[in-house]
Amino acid sequence: MTLPRITLVTPVLNRGALLRRTMDSVLNQNYPHLDYIVIDGGSSDATISIIKEYSHHLHHWVSRTDSGLYHAINDGFSMSSGIVMGWLNSDDILQKNALLKVGETFSSHPNLSWLTGIATTVDEADQITKMGWQARYRKESFLYGGIRGIQQESTFFRRTLWDKAGGALNTSYQFAADYDLWCRFFLYEPLRHIYQPLGAFRRHQKQISNTNMSEYRLEVEKIRHVYRSRLTLRERLLGMIGAQRETSLQRNLYPDFR
């Protein structure tokens, strides 16, 4: 089996306390065809010294002031050559053998455009705190809020789909540009699932999603409104019915689901 080249971008700003574990989780995969790119936004802590330690394993790295997380990710992808793409934030990790599984799956399924794995959460000590059941994501119910957001750490996509969907994250969104990207992907291709954990989202006190949840939800609702307007009447009905069903199911499975 010929494994595809995978591009993985890590954007970082002042995450010296966690960055080493993120980078180890990527490089210890020993995936043979990896473009690993780290984009630092001008850190003032130990981040840059850590990146320099790993520089001989990186396809590229840069440290400069940028316009935020999504601008950094766009920069990283513009420097890359992978057929398959994804990004991993500087406080999250990949699970063991994740890249091999992703590479094998894309190689075995040439018509596959994007995939996601089982949603997983870890604590500050890398211990799994939640490995969640998830519904199959469908465009209609996704736009009506029936299921949890797609876990970005576990999601990978072909460059052809990225280019077809505009070839950039929309940096007018400060917190939910990934949600906008998934909506654009859904315009072209369905999302496929691997029933294996691929990446893990880390819960900790200083993460952006903890301190800006209300702003994130406002952006998500704005994005949903944009893409709902493109649905047919039948798709809107399917979305509303599916969202109600999936929300009810997830509340039974996740008592903390909102």
DSSP letters along 38-97, please? Answer: EEE---SSSHHHHHHHTGGG-SEEEE---S-HHHHHHHHHHT---SEEEE--TT-EEPTT
Return the sign of the alpha-carbon dihedral for residues 103, 77, 21, 123. negative
Mean of the pLDDT values across residues 168-185?
A: 96
- The CA distance from 122 to 26, in Å, is 16
Question: What is the predicted pLDDT for the residue at 246?
Answer: 66
pLDDT at 85 over 90: yes
Q: Indicate the DSSP class of residue 132.
A: E
CB contact set of 4 (below 8 Å; sequence gap of 6+): 33, 82, 83, 84, 103, 106, 107
Average pLDDT, the chain: 89
Dihedral of the CA atoms 131, 132, 134, 137 (nearest 10)?
-70
- Between strands 114-122 and 192-197, the pairing is parallel
Is residue 104 within 8 A of residue 213, CB to CB? The reply is no
Least confident window among 53-67, 109-123, 165-179, 192-206:
192-206
Domain map (residue ranges) of the chain: 6-253
Architecture per CATH, domain 6-253, reads as Alpha-Beta Complex (3.90)
pLDDT band of residue 255 (cuts 50, 70, 90) is: very low
- The CA distance from 201 to 178, in Å, is 14
CB contact set of 11 (below 8 Å; sequence gap of 6+): 39, 41, 69, 72, 73, 76, 87, 89, 90
- The CA distance from 202 to 18, in Å, is 10
Unique residue bearing structure tokens 């010929």: 2
Is residue 235 within 8 A of residue 141, CB to CB? The reply is no
Question: What is the predicted pLDDT for the residue at 171?
Answer: 96
From 45, 8, 7, select the one nearest 23 (Cα to Cα): 8
Could you read off the pLDDT of 20-69 as tens digits, one per residue? Answer: 999 999 999 999 999 999 999 999 999 999 999 999 999 999 999 888 99
- Amino acid making up residue 49: S
Q: Extract the tokens encoding 52.
A: 């320099």
Distance of CA 40 to the CA centre of its chain: 18
pLDDT band of residue 257 (cuts 50, 70, 90) is: very low
